[in-house]
Structure 1
Amino acid sequence: MTNPSDPGRPRPANQGRRVAARNRAALIAAAREVFAEQGLNAPLSAVARRAGVGQGSLYRHFADRMALASAVLGENVRQIEQAAIGPGATLKSVLGVVTWHVTRSTAFVDLLRVRGDDGQGRELSERVRTVLAGCLAGRNELTVDDLMLAVAMVSGAVAGPLEQRERQALAAWRLLGIEVGPLRPVETDIEV
């Protein structure tokens, strides 16, 4: 059988379950990039193309756009939870990870503001609150509500190209008198 994208080459063999986890991880990573560039209404075909898989593979893993967006947001929250674990974990370092996501995803910003309508969104938002509350243990100058408000304020300050959003976010944190660690993602094992 021939490959429809390159009729001169044979179609690669279906590797089934062996590549399912890799495809899912690639789809989540691609969706994060495509949604950041084009917004949540970006064509899902662009996500599949960026991940290097067919649209059928995308729909085998995610029933619809919202399922894919939820998987991306769930990965964002897992990264924040991961940042709070371990000997070097501080409020400063965790806020660096939160800010990295805030500068890259309006959907993530919306998630942090969720208060009750969406069950999964509320659950993810509460997980972020729990992480931040744990980082505040022993600190009396801030409450978790103060910190969530500060994150919302910082997210409201970011606009424009990525470099500009990062500068604006860091400037907003400075104005609030809160120190933030390096803006970075955290590697996690994406759930299959």
Structure 2
Amino acid sequence: MATSPRSNRGPGAAAENRAALIAAARAIFATHGLDAPLSAVARQAGVGQGSLYRHFPTRSSLAVAVFQENADELEAIAARPGSTLDDVLRAITDQAIVSTAFFQMIEIERADDAGQELARKIGSVLASKLPDARSSGRVPDWVTGDDVQLGIAMLVGALAKTAVGDRRAVAARAWALLPFGPG
């Protein structure tokens, strides 16, 4: 629900405003995609656009702040003893079902340093799990990290055009077509 901007409470409210902007952007991007108007984010956070741009001077900087949590979650899964490529791909699928914006942002923002860093994190997570997947015979030897990232991009493209309620079934069908989809 959109709220009207609060009165200016000064610098003491900066952390609270930043958190409200990130939460609002997560919801707006999930519903309307990465191209949603930033004015809607400010409105939902209950702050003015000036506050939005003080914290996040670019759309990319806001998107990176929103989706850092997604990347951190994938890193944590990959760091667990015994975790597999399938575990990471299931988590990616769950994240994409909720919002395709994170993965779209990684593809779009590769020219931006922060976007590149998120893309590197995801690439590193995938690369850390691929050797074990190959050696166990779960993934063919010819599959590269770039192939897995391409598969994720294809999945996200399909999910972006799918009603939220149908995304899990579409994701299962899409992964079934690839030799490295989560089992």
Short-chain TM bin: 0.7 to 0.9
1:152 maps onto 2:146 in alignment: no
CA distance in 2, matches of 1:117, 1:12: 37
Q: Which structure shows the bigger proportion of residues in helix conformation?
A: 2
Equivalent pairs: percent with the same residue? 46
CA distance in 2, matches of 1:50, 1:82: 30
> Which residue is 2:104 aligned to?
109
Aligned partner of 1:74 among 55, 65, 68:
68
Q: Is the 8 A contact 2:100 2:156 kept in 1?
A: no
> Which residue is 1:189 aligned to?
none
Q: Is the 8 A contact 1:113 1:125 kept in 2?
A: no
Alpha-carbon shift at residue 81 of structure 1 (Å): 1.7
1:1-192 counterparts in 2 under 5 A?
14=9, 16-17=11-12, 19-87=13-81, 89-103=83-97, 104-106=99-101, 108-112=103-107, 117-140=111-134, 141=139, 142-158=143-159, 159-177=161-179, 178-179=181-182
Alpha-carbon shift at residue 107 of structure 1 (Å): 5.3
Can you list the C-alpha shifts for 1:91-147, whole angstroms capped at 9, x where unaligned? 222212212333312452352477x64433333212111001112232323432232
Q: Is the 8 A contact 1:113 1:152 kept in 2?
A: no
Greater mean alpha carbon deviation, residues 51-60 or residues 158-167: 51-60
TM-score, normalising length: structure 2: 0.73
Q: Which amino acid aligns with 1:179?
A: P
CA RMSD of the aligned region, Å?
3.0
Q: Which amino acid aligns with 1:72?
A: V
Greater mean alpha carbon deviation, residues 129-138 or residues 19-28: 19-28
TM-score, normalising length: structure 1: 0.71
Question: Per the alignment, do residues 39 and 109 of structure 1 end up closer, same or farther by CA in structure 2, a change over 3 Å counting?
Answer: closer
Q: Is the 8 A contact 1:29 1:51 kept in 2?
A: yes
Q: Which runs of 5+ in 2 are unaligned?
A: none
Q: Which amino acid aligns with 1:54?
A: G
